[in-house]
Structure 1
Amino acid sequence: MKTSVFYGTLAASALLAGAASAQSTLETVQSNGELSCGVSTGLAGFSAPDANGVWQGFDVAVCRAVAAAVLGDPMAVNFVSTTGQTRFSALASGEIDMLARNTTWTFSRDVDLGFTFAGVNYYDGQGFMVNRELGVSSAMELSGATVCIQTGTTTELNLADFFRVNGMDYEPVPIETNAEAQQQYLAGACDVYTKDSSGLAATRASFPEPGNHAILPEIISKEPLGPAVRQGDDQWADIVRWTLNALIAAEELGVTSANIEELAAGTDNPEINRMLGSAGELGAMFGLESDWAVRAISAGGNYGEIFASTIGEQTPIGLARGLNAQWTQGGLLYAPPFR
């Protein structure tokens, strides 16, 4: 899927981009008056333009929250479409200020590419989707199948590992974008489409007859997805990290888009007061105003509100919270203390 030469080249690009710019990322974003955020080429529920050309989705909401925290305007975002192949070079070169598109946090991406992952906004795992006409109910029945696989992703290696370990053969059908995968899969160019299970659900929701397609029960990997920035600018990494943490903590603490204005004036909860800026100086610690978290949460609501409105069970994507529930509800979501 990837080579050390490829990674080394991207890491060198990141270093050159950092050396070429005397401005911090925060200063660049403020000077430009907008945040450049790398997203997908279009994945329903996560990042895709609506009928009016306005980007919407779960990952888009993270971009808008950061723009609101930094610029006071959640709409001050330049969305840059990136593929599995182009996303890392776009970030390394400085074309985008942050990446927020179903990207897995891995050792090599963190260490070798020189990126900093600001946290996990969706805990996922790789799965398989097939047409029900194939009569397949398990991934263990896929030997000899043709498989659509996006290049430049962790799914390539996971797929090879899974089939090798289980003594099965397959024929890869390489594709670059989710739209291309959908077209090839529906045209019968491949028997199976494999990617993160959330992406499969999002893709299936856009099919003319989604009920004709099954997502198999096997999950073959861990895919912690989250926003990433370039290494070497700790202030910017902190801003993106704690904006995401604010969305997560707000849900746990009961701070919503409906009550945040009232709570921002002060509460009996010291944690809420520190986060929303009515007590302490957290914003000043990384160069933002005291109401940065108020602006971030107000952009689209807390984590739970964003999840429910973009990919939740009442949307066409239909995803349950599962591992992405708060730690108090049996999930993995957990924001460090605001103190």
Structure 2
Amino acid sequence: MIRTILAAGFAALLALPALAQPAADTLGAIRARGHLLCGVTPNTVGFATPDSRGDWQGLDADTCRAVAAAIFGDGTKVRFIPTTAQNRFTALQSGEVDMLSRATTWTLGREAQLGLVFAGVNYYDGNAFMVRRSLGVDSATRLDGASVCLQPGSTTELNVADYFRRNNMRLNPLLIENLEELRAAFASGRCDAYASDTSTLAAFRVGQGAAGADYVLLPEIFSKEPLGPVVRKGDWKFFDIVRWTLFALITAEELGINRDNLASFESSPNPDVQRFLGRSGDLGRQLGVSNDWAVQVVRAVGNFSDMWERSVTPTGMPRGVNRLWTQGGLMYAPPMR
């Protein structure tokens, strides 16, 4: 009888789901190292690109700085690691970087298969095609048989194949991993069209200076590309900090708080403002950072609107669906309370 009971109990134990392995302490490693390692694009104007002094500028770069400010109270404590479309996930999985903030699309497959998790969306985008004006093409439906420059390992590669298949068109892909080589191939005429996120295409056109007038962005947006920061799955303490840093940037815009007027909000009777400033609620300590973490984020990079105006507006991209939800857009932050 005892043997039967023991056997049944052992069988039940074997039937239980395997226990998750203890997650790495990313936050502890970052603090011990003294800076955040953030994977970014090699060179995308408006999102992440080094300026003439080698300082990284752009919406994604500022997202990295914001996370560093939340952790250290200092947005300069970040090291930017350029990654490609093909090596970015390996870099994150292996610990070469602590997080990605590099125009990466949130998909089911990436979360289900790669052991990664998206902390939110800092840019709602979509794929499109760019062609040379001399080609005389005004619609993507006229690209039958066209050669298209694409980065392997990107969602764009899959989306373009789907688009051509849906429209019964022949596709001749030209796959080039290095972004600068891909852009050079398009500019030299090796392919008829260049497909990517609309933000990336707009950044490329701006980067061409006066020659940018030779390129046309076709009107069809043929995919959903919610872009945002990515971390390793399982380390939920660090995930919470990255997610709520993004929400803090959006909340600051909702509340009208920016770097220039922070001091004027200190005496505000608004309880939402007082919680944001860390004067009530003890929210920072619940995250594992200081209670004024959101203040440090705003001091480092401003609010979300400040980041957008500084980085994306010069590319000519309208804010569109990336406006706040109160302005008809999709940017929405849960309550900080």
Does TM, normalized by the shorter one, top 0.5?
Answer: yes
Segments of structure 1 that go 5 or more residues without pairing to the other structure are 1-17
Contact 1:43 1:178 in 2 (8 A): no
| CA deviation after TM superposition for structure 1 residue 68, in Å | 0.7
Given candidates 321, 324, 332, the residue that maps to 2:322 is 324
Partner of 1:197: 198
- Residues 1:25 and 2:23 are matched in the alignment: no
Partner of 1:13: none
Q: How does 1:155-304 map onto structure 2 within 5 Å?
A: 155-208=156-209, 209-263=211-265, 265-304=266-305
Measured against aligned partners, the alpha-carbon deviations of 1:264-294 in whole angstroms (never above 9, x if no partner) come to x341211111122011100000210011000
What TM-score comes out, normalization by structure 1 length? 0.91
- Residues 1:333 and 2:331 are matched in the alignment: yes
Which residue type is aligned with residue 242 of structure 1? W
The separation in 1 between residues aligned to 2:276 and 2:178, in whole angstroms, is: 38
RMSD (Å), alpha carbons: 1.3
Partner of 2:91: 90
Which residue type is aligned with residue 280 of structure 1? G
The separation in 2 between residues aligned to 1:336 and 1:302, in whole angstroms, is: 16
Aligned residue for 2:114, secondary structure, equals coil
Contact 1:266 1:278 in 2 (8 A): no
Contact 1:162 1:220 in 2 (8 A): yes
The separation in 1 between residues aligned to 2:200 and 2:246, in whole angstroms, is: 21
Contact 1:46 1:311 in 2 (8 A): yes
The separation in 2 between residues aligned to 1:186 and 1:293, in whole angstroms, is: 43
Contact 2:119 2:239 in 1 (8 A): yes
| CA deviation after TM superposition for structure 1 residue 233, in Å | 0.7
What TM-score comes out, normalization by structure 2 length? 0.92
Which residue type is aligned with residue 183 of structure 1? A
Which residue type is aligned with residue 274 of structure 1? R
Contact 2:62 2:307 in 1 (8 A): yes
The separation in 1 between residues aligned to 2:278 and 2:317, in whole angstroms, is: 33
**Greater C-alpha Rg:** 2
In the superposition, relative to structure 1, how do residues 23 and 109 fare at CA in structure 2: closer, same or farther (>3 Å)? closer
Partner of 2:112: 111
What is the aligned-residue identity percentage? 51
| CA deviation after TM superposition for structure 1 residue 132, in Å | 0.4
The separation in 1 between residues aligned to 2:94 and 2:54, in whole angstroms, is: 26
Contact 1:68 1:296 in 2 (8 A): yes
Contact 1:39 1:47 in 2 (8 A): yes
Give runs of ≥4 in structure 1 deviating > 3 Å.
none
User: What is the number of residues matched between the two proteins?
Assistant: 317
| CA deviation after TM superposition for structure 1 residue 176, in Å | 1.0
Partner of 2:67: 66
Measured against aligned partners, the alpha-carbon deviations of 1:161-181 in whole angstroms (never above 9, x if no partner) come to 000110001210001132122
